[in-house]
Structure 1
Amino acid sequence: MKQTIDVPIPKYPWTYIPSPLMFTFDEEEKQWIKEDYAFMGPESVKRYINQNIVKVSPYMGPTTTNADLLRPVCRFLLYETYFDDYVEIMPLEEVRVLRDRAFEVMTGDSVGPNEIGMFRQMEQARKEWVTNGMPQFWIERMANSFWEFVTYGIMEETHFKLTQTYPTLSRYLLIRSRSIGQLAYVDMIDPAIGYALPEHIHKHPAIQRVLFLQSILIGIQNDFASIRKEMATENENFNIILLLHHTHHLSFEEALARAMKIHDDFVVELEEISQCLPNFGDYQKEAENYVYHTKLMVTCLNEWYYKSGTKRYTPEGFATPKYGIQGEKKLDFEIKHIRQEN
């Protein structure tokens, strides 16, 4: 009989709100996958339909009640996720080509008939945001965030995945804050609530620190949720628990405890900043609402992992990248996720 290892589920002092749009986009997601992501191969298409990825957007934006506002956000969530999957261990020169073309489409270029369907989703999302009144400065912010997600996140992870090595903890936190995609996806707060935070507010150091903190929290949160899949999958070692286990010479249980302590310290910092924001003058309420939604994203995504029924984090549920095969390794133990006591 296999040993069972209990893996704690992160907890937060912030609220969880169920979305009224939880099932609104299920059929549209299937259509988008079949029509615009077929280039990733029939096996990936089959697996994606069972991942409930589209529900991430309602979970993370539960205050949005207008489906037209959330639809392009759902498109973004899917193409950001599938882009990451597709370029797994891809040669960096090929990643750069895809990254730069994505930026062009996101900022205004039209997509040709022979280009991959992912770019059609990017173009359609941009058109819907324009229709919904999102300003050009936000379009450019969103596109730049995606470019940085690829450049400073995905592309910097690649070396460690290919060599099966680990960075230092501090370097890991920098890369992971980008590669999880949240510093790009957090831009989706604006179109979901129908208001673009002004640039001078968005660039303020306090807001930028809030964005880093919520991003790395979501990165570590993902590391806990996906730990079994990553332990059983080749080229999936970029996980704070595995890093601490292998480079800090901790037992697996000790690595879990250390990773959660790092996570919880970031929770405290985010809450302390949010309780003492600068004076933003006429934009105070908007800034406070924006920070509120960053915390809501953290709490609500945490529930998606364990309530949505997603099969993404089972080894057989992960999509096949263009390069390499993510074969399953046999584990001599089982993982059980458990809720922590308050």
Structure 2
Amino acid sequence: MKPTTNEEFYAGLHLLPRPHYPFPDFTHPELQKQRQEYYQWIDEEYAFQSKEAREKHKSHHLTDIAAKGCPFLKNIAELRPLANYTANGAMMDDYFDRCSRDEMYRIMAQVIALLSGENSEEPSENGIFHLFWVLRQDALNCGIPQSIYRRFIKSIQDVLIGYSEEKTYYRANIVPPLPVYLLIREATSGVLPYCDYAVLQKEYRQLPDEIFEHPHIRRIYSLCSLMIGIHNDIISLPKEIHRDGDTMNLVKVLQKEYTLSLHDAYMKALEIHDQYLKEFLVLRDHLPPFGKWQNEVYNYIQDLGIMIAGVYVWHTNDTSRYVNGGYVEGEFPG
């Protein structure tokens, strides 16, 4: 049988199987209102970027991810900090796309100082750092419990560490080895903060802190992060295959790791994703004994599944960000 060429692969990409999740899909009722605030953030906080970049950001509707991922937050006040993290985190990742590893670590230190309150002074100018300062004020205003907020900020720090470490591969246009990819992608998928923030839904904030540190739960967090990272890679492949420097994509990694065709690497990526989904469901259905909290923990894990499905719906509905030419080029002058 003749191997499939890249051109043939792309011609038939829409016919290939995609991830599928056995979870229902929900949307936060304040999605549209949060989207309007998102437009305002771009106009006011991202005025330093070109008009073309700002208009592309607006078309990406990044705060919809928060509304799909955590649809059971009580109100827009609780949705706002997560939407801020999601949109500002993605837009700053675009802006700093071609900065160095060391530059990204310095940026991370500034961001975490603002989010933690170590630096409580409001930045004098609008922009990325000011928007992170706003996130903390919004979190304080809606009364997020300190233990949950601390875990949320620690997870954001882990995301930014991932952003920093991937720069080594991006700048050199090198595809990383599979173990390195998995380690970095678990962070850069941006999902760990979602797992922490989802605790604010329903009555999960009453669960004891030690439950969230249990190795069983931590593994579930890793699986959430990897599944979303992989399905993002699958959806963004048409964009990233044509663009130098976009080396942190599982299909590219598997192509190099196992000397596979593009089609076979795609199918292998989907197989790995589905193995993670199977593991997630096994861990959900075989929780350790958490006593009186057993049902609440099960429901929380089920809502993490809803989070995964919601983010996937956003990804599959997107027609502006994950297409060739839809990305925002990094404008950081460093």
TM-score, normalised via structure 1 length: 0.87
Residues 83-142 of structure 1: CA deviation (Å, up to 9, x unaligned): 222222312232122111111111123344434522222222222222222122222212
Give the Cα–Cα distance (whole angstroms) in 2 for the partners of residues 297 and 248 of structure 1: 32
Partners in 2 of 1:133 and 1:244 — Cα distance? 44
Q: How far did 1:30 drift?
A: 0.6
The residue that corresponds to 1:266 in the other structure is 276
Residue 228 of structure 1 pairs with residue 235 of structure 2:
no
Q: Deviations over 1:138-166 (max 9, x none)?
A: 22212211111111x11221111122222
Letter in 1 for 2:244: E
1:33 aligns with 2:42: yes
Question: Which consecutive residues of structure 2, in runs of 5 or more, have no partner in the other structure?
Answer: 1-6
Residue 157 of structure 2 aligns with which residue? Answer: 147
Aligned to 1:331: none
Match for residue 5 of structure 1? 12
1:132 and 1:272 map into 2 onto residues whose CA distance is: 35
Determine if the alignment matches structure 1 residue 213 to structure 2 residue 213.
Answer: no
Change (3 A) 1:155 1:113: closer
Q: Which residue of 2 aligns with 1:339?
A: none
Relative to structure 1, the CA distance from residue 288 to residue 94 in structure 2 (aligned partners, 3 Å threshold; closer, same or farther) is same
Counterparts of 2:38 and 2:297 in 1: how far apart (Å)?
32
Match of 1:185 in 2: 194
Question: What is the DSSP-based 3-state SS (H/G/I as helix, E as strand, rest coil) of the residue aligned with 1:317?
Answer: coil
- Name the counterpart of 2:180: 171
The one-letter code matched in structure 2 to 1:68 is A
CA deviation profile, 1:60-88 (whole Å, cap 9, x unmatched)? 12233522221222111112212222222
Is 2:4 aligned against 1:23? no
SS at structure 1 position matched to 2:60: coil
Aligned residues: 321
Aligned counterparts of 1:125 and 1:238: Cα–Cα separation in 2? 28
- Partner in structure 2 of residue 95 of structure 1: 104
Larger % of strand: which? Answer: 1
Q: Distance in 1 between matches of 2:73 and 2:167?
A: 35
- The answer to which structure, 1 or 2, has the higher relative contact order (CA under 8 A, 6+ apart) is 1
For residue 279 of structure 1, report the CA deviation from its aligned partner. Answer: 1.7
Tell me, in whole angstroms, the C-alpha distance in 1 between the residues paired with 2:121 and 2:49: 18
Structure-to-structure mapping, 1:27-106, within 5 angstroms: 27-64=36-73, 66-106=75-115
Q: For 1:107 and 1:50, how far apart are their aligned partners in 2?
A: 31
Q: Which moved more, 1:269-278 or 1:33-42?
A: 33-42
Which is further off, 207-216 or 34-43? 34-43
Residue 214 of structure 2 aligns with an amino acid whose one-letter code is: H
CA distance in 2, matches of 1:140, 1:64: 18
Question: Residues 19 and 231 of structure 2 are in contact (CA less than 8 Å); yes or no, is this contact kept in structure 1?
Answer: yes
Show the counterpart of 2:4.
none
| Identity %, equivalent residues | 28
- Greater CA drift, 172-181 or 261-270: 172-181
Indicate the larger mover: 263-272 or 67-76: 67-76
1:121 corresponds to 2:128:
no
Aligned residues of 2:98 and 2:332 also touching (Cα < 8 A): yes
Q: Deviations over 1:29-76 (max 9, x none)?
A: 110011012223332212101111111111112233522221222111
Q: Distance in 2 between matches of 1:265 and 1:251?
A: 21
Question: Where has structure 1 moved over 6 Å in runs of 4 or more?
Answer: none
Measured in 2, the distance between the counterparts of 1:82 and 1:119 equals 12
The verdict on how the C-alpha distance between 1:277 and 1:245 changes in structure 2, with shifts beyond 3 A counting, is same
The CA deviation at 1:185 is 3.0
Partner of 1:299: 309
Give yes or no for contact 2:123–2:130 (8 Å, CA) kept in 1.
no
> If each structure's helix is expressed as a fraction of its own residues, which one has the higher value?
2
Question: Structure 2 length normalisation: TM-score?
Answer: 0.89
Q: Distance in 2 between matches of 1:39 and 1:184?
A: 27
Output the aligned Cα RMSD.
2.0
Task: Read off the aligned partner of 2:71 and give its amino acid letter.
Answer: P
Q: After superposition, what is the alpha-carbon deviation per residue over 1:189-222, rounded to whole angstroms, capped at 9, x for unaligned?
A: 1335475353211110010000000100000010
The CA distance in 1 between the partners of 2:125 and 2:330, in whole Å, is: 18
Cα displacement (A) at 1:281 = 2.4
Q: Which residue of 2 aligns with 1:134?
A: 144
